[in-house]
Amino acid sequence: QPQQRGISSFFGRQ
Amino acid sequence: MFEAQMAQAALLKQIIESIRELITEATFEVSGTGMMLQAMDSSHVSLVALNLRSDGFQLFRADRPFSMGMNLNHMAKMLKCAGKDDTLTMRADEANDLVTFLFESPGNERLAEFELKLMDITSENLGIPDAEYSATVSMPSAEFQRIVKDLGSIGDTVEITVTKDDVRFAASGDIGNATIKCRQLLDTEKPEDRTLIEMVEPVNLTFALRYLINFSKATSLAPSVTIKLSTEMPVVVEYKLSDIGYVRFYLAPKIED
């Protein structure tokens, strides 16, 4: 089953 | 001092209605360029980015950058009190923790003033890279809403596949499977009825449908929606607000470990 990723793992924290 | 006037209070009401289930609290950043908001949903899987440019307002004044933290459900309660054709003026200053919404009827015979308490919200802003996407699909927003709602009754996730000929949305669940295929359609009377597929390379991604269904609450804001996809990247679902800005929703994909 594909796992849900968090959005912050793609976009860097500012 | 911050002051901004919008011809239609109904526009801000619709915008807030479309995002308030996803994000209940958010900070509006006001500056000379306009009003911006960026917030993740509570599960940190999706992100809302709203941009209202200052030139899209009838009047816009922000002496210095200013943050306004608001509970969007409380904001929605007040905006619901605006008449259908009322204008909206927002006012706030740093001295007090309030933002004022003034609703004025078209004949100026009724003026309603609502003051909303501002709040301090600790949130982290994410840097969204200006990426090139592998595929961009524009389609009527009502069509996208129908697809995600229909598939939501079949399964929890949707697999979106873009090839040069079409875009496919597929879902499966306990009762069976469904695939909806949309071909490029350019020859329409109205430009917003077009389905336009721009593909650099084919993509295939899986997303949780409940977020996409939630994004489609913004359907009434724009006749068409743009969906941008790249392999193993969040999808962007964009509703353009004519003459003033956009609402963008980002959703992280589901990826095989």
Residue from B23, B42, B44, B156 whose CB has the most chain A CBs within 10 Å, to mutate: B44
Average pLDDT, chain A: 89
Model pLDDT for residues B99-158, shown as the tens digit of each residue: 999 999 999 999 999 999 999 998 788 999 888 999 999 999 999 999 999 999 999 999
B250 and chain A in contact, CB less than 8 A? yes
Q: How far is B100 from chain A (nearest CA, A)?
A: 30
ipTM: 0.95
pLDDT at A13 over 80: no
Residue B218 distance to chain A (closest CA, Å): 20
Closest-CA residue of A relative to B250 is A7
Q: Which two tokens stand for residue A6?
A: 């968090």
In this predicted structure, what is the pLDDT of residue B94? Answer: 80
Q: How far is B223 from chain A (nearest CA, A)?
A: 27
Q: Do A2 and B126 touch (CB under 8 A)?
A: no
**CA-CA distances (angstroms) from residue B122 to B20, B73, B119?**
17, 18, 10
Convert the pLDDT of each residue in B69-100 to its tens digit. 999 999 999 999 999 999 999 999 888 899 99
- B127 with A10: Cβ contact below 8 A: no
- A-B Cβ pairs (cutoff 8 Å, strict): 59
CB contact under 8 A, A5 and B253: yes
| Distances from the Cα of B157 to the Cα of A12, B20, B36, B103, angstroms | 26, 22, 30, 42
Average pLDDT, chain B: 96
Give the residue, B57 or B257, on which the prediction is more confident. Answer: B57
Q: Is B8:B83 a contact under the CB 8 Å cutoff?
A: no
At residue B124, the pLDDT reads 80
Buried b (16+ CB within 10 A) or exposed e, B127-141: ebeeeebbbbbbbbb
Kind plus residue range of the DSSP H or E element containing B12: helix B9-19
From B44, B125, B233, residue closest to A6, measured CB to CB: B44
Does the CB of B46 have a partner CB in chain A at under 8 Å?
yes
Question: Between chains, do B252 and A4 touch, taking CB under 8 Å as contact?
Answer: yes
B-chain residues within 8 Å CB-CB of A2? 157, 206, 253-257
Helix and strand totals (H; E) in chain A: 0, 2
User: Which residue is associated with the tokens 């079409």?
Assistant: B166
Chain A residues lying within 8 Å of B234, measured CB to CB: 7, 10-11
The tens digit of pLDDT for each residue in B145-192 reads 999 999 999 999 999 999 999 999 999 999 999 999 999 999 999 999
- Cβ separation of A2 and B157 shorter than 8 Å? yes
State residue B96's pLDDT score. 85
Q: What is the mean pLDDT of residues B218-228?
A: 98
